[in-house]
Structure 1
Amino acid sequence: MAQAPTEVQLAVDLIMLLEQQQLPPATVLAALAIVEKDFRRQLMLGNKENKTEK
């Protein structure tokens, strides 16, 4: 596991954390959709900032 890519390590950590919460899968998926939307927004904002700096 230590040699796994960072995204795999993070995914495993997130799965363990979410499973500890003992929430319904539908609730977890709804929350993850919100998180994904937020991180995609951050990614897009970061890309726009990088383009204006060049």
Structure 2
Amino acid sequence: MSDNNQNQASGLENAPQDVQLAVDLIFLLESNEVDPNVALSALEMVKQDLQRKLQANSD
């Protein structure tokens, strides 16, 4: 692994969890060649579901 790749990997390990998850999701979507419009639609569904769960937990 090159120094640059090594620095990026260790930087990601130290990144906040939301950044790590975003990178993982981007990798998953790109490696599976998911159409960006399909991905955005699916992510909106996920967002709405998570917001409902947060709302239910705060009630």
Q: How many residues align?
A: 48
Pick 1 or 2: higher relative contact order, CA cutoff 8 A, min separation 6.
Answer: 1
Provide structure 2 residue ranges, at least 5 long, that are not aligned to the other structure: 1-11
User: What TM-score do the two structures reach when normalised by structure 2?
Assistant: 0.75
Gap regions ≥5 residues in structure 1: 49-54
The DSSP-based 3-state class of the residue aligned with 2:13 is: coil
% of aligned pairs identical?
44
Moved over 4 A (4+): none
C-alpha RMSD of matched pairs (Å)? 0.7
Counterpart in 2 of 1:17?
28
